[in-house]
């Protein structure tokens, strides 16, 4: 009887799990295997043409000029955006965690950029940094510039504008996460620090930062993954071209152009996507190991 009952329970368990297994097998496992298959071929999906070329698509990534530029732009974007947005989010959360007058209003105002779509934010920043936009107007008013700069068409500033926009729009989300973590830190910890004569900077770097290290690890991982996959801002900013002078060309944008552009090099685009996934995994793993720490409370 026990054996029969156990079999029924196992069958019931598999019955509940089976739909999820089928969905994951079709949309995850099968998709990954098909992507690996495509990356080893020269492909034209419109005509159904497949030609096995081995690792040529992967070798081409390291020899193609635009691929090198795209990876360099993406690496620069990640190295600047991720640490900046993480640090500023923690600092703002630390300030807003104090019981100050009107702090709830400030929290709401700081969170508003997160509610705006990425496309709308991109259009707003394109207006702000346009040749006749408010940024140029202010810089001319304070005699910082002798003549206006076309930030959108200048290769020196185009990617920096996207970085600024990304930092400004993502800080509120990470700030909210940090704020929730800071409210879990016992007040007695800061009270003990006050008794010992610690100032605000010492309390921040010696108490707050170590206490929220697990949250920082999460924020870093999410930021790294999102920054490596940055596509929509660069696409809208450059109208899908990566201009000026490939300054806004990211890996995700180049994958899109190769997959759905006139060249229709789907095999090469798939190889780039797989390579990008491996890079994201390696960088995320390293960041997790470097920042790995258990909470002190």
3-state secondary structure 250-283: CHHHHHHHHHHCCCCCHHHHHHHHHHHHHHHHHH
Provide the b/e sequence for 142-170 (b: ≥16 CB within 10 Å).
eeeeeeebebbeeeebbbbbbbbbbbebb
Whether residue 41 has pLDDT greater than 70:
yes
Average pLDDT, integer, range 256-285: 87
Give the three-state DSSP class for 135.
helix
Global pTM reads 0.85
Looking at residue 6, what is its pLDDT?
80
Per the CB < 8 A criterion, the answer to whether 174 and 212 are in contact is no
Confidence of residue 2 (pLDDT cuts 50, 70, 90): low
Whether residue 235 has pLDDT greater than 70:
yes
- Tens of pLDDT, residues 207-228: 888 888 889 989 999 999 999 9
* Among candidate residues 219, 203, 199, 222, the one with its CA nearest the CA of residue 211: 203
- Tens of pLDDT, residues 98-135: 776 766 777 777 777 777 788 888 888 888 888 888 88
CA distance 149 to 132: 9
Whether residue 177 has pLDDT greater than 80:
yes
Confidence of residue 262 (pLDDT cuts 50, 70, 90): low
Whether residue 293 has pLDDT greater than 60:
no
Task: Find tokens 């920082």 and name the residue.
Answer: 216
Task: Find tokens 């940090």 and name the residue.
Answer: 178
- Who's near 148: CB < 8 A, 6+ residues apart? 131, 132, 136, 139, 140
User: 116: which DSSP letter?
Assistant: S
CA distance 65 to 63: 6
Return mean pLDDT, the chain. Answer: 85
Average pLDDT, integer, range 149-156: 86
Confidence of residue 295 (pLDDT cuts 50, 70, 90): very low
Looking at residue 297, what is its pLDDT?
40
Average pLDDT, integer, range 158-184: 89
């Amino acid at each position: 009887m026990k054996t029969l009952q156990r079999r029924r329970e196992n069958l019931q368990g598999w019955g509940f799990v089976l739909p999820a297994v089928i969905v994951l097998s079709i949309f995850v496992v099968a998709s990954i295997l098909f992507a690996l298959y495509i990356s080893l071929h020269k492909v034209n999906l419109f005509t159904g043409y497949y030609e096995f070329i081995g690792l040529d698509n992967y070798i081409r990534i390291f020899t193609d000029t635009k691929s090198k530029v795209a990876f360099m732009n993406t690496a620069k974007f990640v190295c600047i955006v991720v640490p900046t947005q993480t640090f500023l989010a923690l600092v703002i959360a630390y300030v807003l965690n104090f019981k100050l007058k009107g702090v709830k209003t400030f929290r709401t105002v700081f969170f508003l950029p997160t509610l705006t779509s990425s496309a709308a934010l991109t259009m707003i920043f394109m207006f702000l940094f346009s040749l006749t936009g408010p940024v140029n107007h202010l810089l001319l008013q304070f005699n910082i510039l002798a003549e206006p700069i076309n930030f959108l068409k200048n290769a020196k500033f185009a990617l920096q504008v996207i970085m600024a926009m990304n930092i400004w729009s993502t800080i509120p989300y990470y700030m909210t996460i940090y704020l929730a973590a800071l409210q879990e830190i016992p007040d007695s910890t800061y009270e003990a620090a006050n008794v010992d004569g610690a100032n605000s900077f010492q309390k921040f770097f010696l108490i707050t930062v170590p206490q929220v290290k697990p949250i920082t690890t999460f924020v870093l991982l999410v930021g790294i993954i999102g920054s490596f996959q940055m596509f929509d801002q660069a696409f809208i900013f450059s109208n899908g071209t990566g201009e000026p002078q490939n300054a806004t060309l990211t890996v995700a944008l180049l994958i899109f152009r190769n997959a759905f552009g006139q060249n229709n090099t789907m095999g090469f685009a798939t190889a780039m996507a797989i390579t990008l996934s491996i890079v994201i995994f390696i960088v995320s793993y390293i960041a997790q190991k470097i920042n790995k720490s258990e909470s002190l409370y």
